[in-house]
Amino acid sequence: MRILALSDTHNLHRSITVPMEGDLLIHAGDFSFFFEDMLVIRDFNAWLGELRFRHKIVVPGNHERIMYERPELRRLITNATLLINESVTIEGVMLWGSPVTCDDEAFGCSTADERRALYASIPDGTDIVITHGPPYGVCDEEFRAKGIHRGCPELLAAIQRVNPQVHIFGHVHASRGAKRIGETTFINAAMLGWSGDLENKPISFEFPLGR
Ligand SMILES: [Zn+2]
């Protein structure tokens, strides 16, 4: 299965050069800029509809926090499966997605205990975990602030328990990239750079990963 991962496009989805075909497209959140412009949200959904991927998954980010307060807005995304603290199985591949981040109160779970309880619900055997925020210490360093980690310790502990093949996230734009630790390949798929320009390309890979 050919997977294309991207995140943090912040209204600039039309400027991305995306391979127009594939098996599964995964957007790990922050497709908008604080959900300010409804036309752009509708256009994001239209853009998703134009991409010829057999399956599409979107996990909202903190910029889409209004989807937590007003769940009816989730219906704006009709051309992808929206994952909000839940699982989906696609062609035998089990995925779980969550918009929760640890450095703001988006989508609830503002305390470590709440996040621990949430991440305890990630089913064993999950192949791909998608979260908007990174796990603590992995591709989560802020720009020009080496050693300042914005990732979530509770999420890291859950990933170590579940041991997925792939963990996809974004949120910390400066740490875009991939890293393999143990059995898990971590992918920070942020598209926007520090400057706010679209600096990066989506990350494409074959799943299952070659071992
Ligand atoms: Zn974010």
pLDDT value for 144: 66
The closest of 29, 57, 65 to 170, measured between CA atoms, is 29
Structure-block tokens of residue 33? 């800029």
* Rounded distance from Cα 65 to ligand 1 centre (Å): 10
Domains and CATH numbers, the chain: 2-206 (3.60.21.10)
* Rounded distance from Cα 31 to ligand 1 centre (Å): 9
pLDDT value for 211: 54
pLDDT value for 194: 73
pLDDT along the chain (211 residues), means of 10: 96 88 95 92 96 97 94 96 98 97 86 96 98 97 81 97 98 94 97 84 92 54
Contact 172, 188 (CB under 8 A): yes
Contact 10, 192 (CB under 8 A): yes
* Rounded distance from Cα 165 to ligand 1 centre (Å): 23
Whole-angstrom CA distances from 198 to 14, 83, 137, 193 are 11, 25, 24, 6
Q: Which amino acid is at 168?
A: I
pLDDT value for 21: 81
pTM reported for the whole predicted model = 0.96
Letter string b/e over residues 55-80, b meaning 16 or more CB atoms within 10 A of that residue's CB: bbbbbbbbbbbbbbeeeebeeebeeb
* Rounded distance from Cα 211 to ligand 1 centre (Å): 31
